[in-house]
Copies of this chain bind each other. A is one copy, B any other.
Amino acid sequence: MEEYLETSPKIIAEIRDYITHGEFRSAADLFGQILPADQAKFFITLTAEEQRHLLTAMEIPDIADIFDELDDQQTLDAANNLPLPFLADIIDDMDPDEAADLLGDLSGKDVRRTISFMEEPEEVLPLLRYPDDTAGGRMTTDFLVLRPEETVEEAIRDLRKSDRESDVPYYLFVVGDSGSLIGVTGLRELVSAEPEQAIASIMNTHVIQIEDMEDQEEAARLMKHYDLSALPVVDRNQRLKGVISHDDILDVLVDESTEDIYRLASVSDTAIEPESGLGRQLRGRLPWLLLNTVTALFGSWVISNFGDLFVQVAVLAFFQSVVASQGGSAASQNVAMIVRGLALGKIDISKAWPIMLRQVAVGMMIGVMIGVIVGVGVGYWQSNPILGLVLGLALLGNMLVASFVGTLAPIVLQAVGQDPALASSVLVTAMTDSLGFLIFLSLAQIFLPLIQQYM
């Protein structure tokens, strides 16, 4: 994978060279020739000191472009390095939604002082009240509106006058009195219409929209389902408050997938990266691993109730883990299928029972096949057909447990309003481990005289 998709490594090397030699003005000049997304990618490789020097040599609007591209944490780190009046100028030039995120992340004292230094805080302030993960928290307030009584010609004249670099250039929303959203049209329709037509006559009054306090995932679902490149956000009184654009929704979908992948692997903090510091990794990983130990020790306790068995037939200790491991793998498959199906809206929770039956049926098929193969194989290996029989039956039994628990756990979590991905390996495999041991060792106990006949 290329590090900078559209920028030659030569330019990057030159910029780095200037920075190494402290020539920040030359670096900034060259920096201006590459796209903001690549600037951001390069920027985060610099030390805090280098970042500060480079920013000081740059123009405010260009800094704002970089800040718009950085992650929230990266923006905050860079911002904390700058004098507040300078930072206020940058925030004035940032996209309102990113600006609000940054202001929300500053320490309480800095927020007020920064706002006092800003020239146009009114674009950003209304956004501060929305939590990051709501539709309101993802929207921009920088969009173009039309009035229904305007003519197409007037609308085009207004568009020409507006020097805004709007984030959402294609859709044009139409608002009535009191600012309520009443229609949508597109630049294409505007261009194709007769100049004297009223906007009301070319707008579509069926506008797909979302309320400001709804979850950003709902916004993503709407935009994906209806292939929208922009989604208007309204308040409870149908007043247009902002617009979510397609690139915001890409970020939401990617973040949600990351969260699912991490939770399924029992990492509870999605901001953890392999290069994250020790403290952050410990906080995000250790609690789950400790929980895993506790549940594994419960498995040990299950086994300890069969302690005498191992003295009589040590060979049982070889195979108990196969049963547990197989159940764990099968349960992981089920959890992944359900979690993803729920995330993509493909599973209707009211049809939980047919899904459960299907999954248990599949588990039975797989259990029979693996049970027979492994049972016969181990029966030969250990010259003990009864041991093979016990192992095969235990594999089948635990496969049924795995199918049931692996399907039920995420569905139940969803039904009670929790994230189904919390049915992660640790919790579900605790069940398959313990029950796997219990099934295998109980069967061994029952068949013990027969197993011993072959020893």
For this chain, the copies found in one complex come to 2
Please name all residues of chain B whose beta carbon is closer than 8 Å to the beta carbon of A51 when the two chains form the complex: none
| Distance between A340 CB and nearest chain B CB, rounded to angstroms | 5
Once the chains are docked, how many angstroms separate the CA of A429 from the CA of B405?
A: 21
How many Å lie between the Cα of A337 and that of B292 in the bound state? 18
Stretch from A75-83, A134-142, A266-274 at the B interface: A266-274
Within 8 A of B (CB), among A416-451: 425-426, 429, 433, 437
Count chain B CB atoms within 10 A of each CB in A316, A322, A335 and give the residue with the most: A322
Beta-carbon contacts of A57-80 to B below 8 Å, as 1s and 0s? 000000000000000000000000
Asked whether A344 and B254 contact (CB < 8 A) given A225-B37, A299-B322, the answer is yes
With beta carbons under 8 angstroms apart, the residue of B315, B326, B342 that contacts A289 is B326
Which residues of A does B touch, CB under 8 Å?
Answer: 1, 3, 5-6, 35, 37, 41, 156, 159-160, 166, 169-170, 186-188, 190-192, 208, 221-227, 229, 246-247, 249-250, 253-254, 257-258, 260-262, 264-267, 272-275, 278, 281-282, 285-286, 288-290, 292-293, 296-297, 299-301, 303-304, 307-311, 314-322, 324-326, 328-330, 332-342, 344-349, 354-355, 358-359, 361-362, 365-366, 369-370, 373-374, 377-378, 395, 407, 425-426, 429, 433, 437
Q: Tell me, rounded to whole Å, the shortest Cβ–Cβ distance linking A286 to chain B.
A: 6
In the complex, the answer to whether A336 meets B264 with C-beta atoms within 8 Å is yes
A320 adjacent to B322 (CB under 8 Å): no
Of A274, A278, A332, chain B has the most CB atoms within 10 Å of the CB of A274
A320 to B309, CA, bound (A): 16
Least distance between A347 CB and chain B CB atoms (Å): 6
Interface pair A337/B267, CB less than 8 Å apart: yes
Given A274-B407, A278-B361, decide whether A300 and B285 contact each other with a Cβ distance below 8 A: no
B329 touches A289 (CB 8 A): yes
Q: Is the interface of A mostly helix, strand, loop or mixed?
A: helix
The reply to whether A326 and B253 form a contact with Cβ atoms under 8 Å apart is no
State the Cβ distance, A361 to closest chain B Cβ, in Å.
7
> When chains A and B are docked, how far (Å) is the Cα of A258 from the Cα of B324?
26
Docked-complex contact A159 and B192, CB < 8 angstroms: yes
B299-A310 in contact (CB<8A): no
Contact of A247 among B227, B316, B338, B366 (CB under 8 A): B227
- Nearest 6 CB-CB pairs, A to B? A265-B336, A257-B257, A317-B317, A187-B187, A310-B314, A227-B247
Bound-state Cα–Cα, A345 to B275, Å: 13
CA distance A296 to B321 in the complex (A): 7
Closest to A441 in B: B317
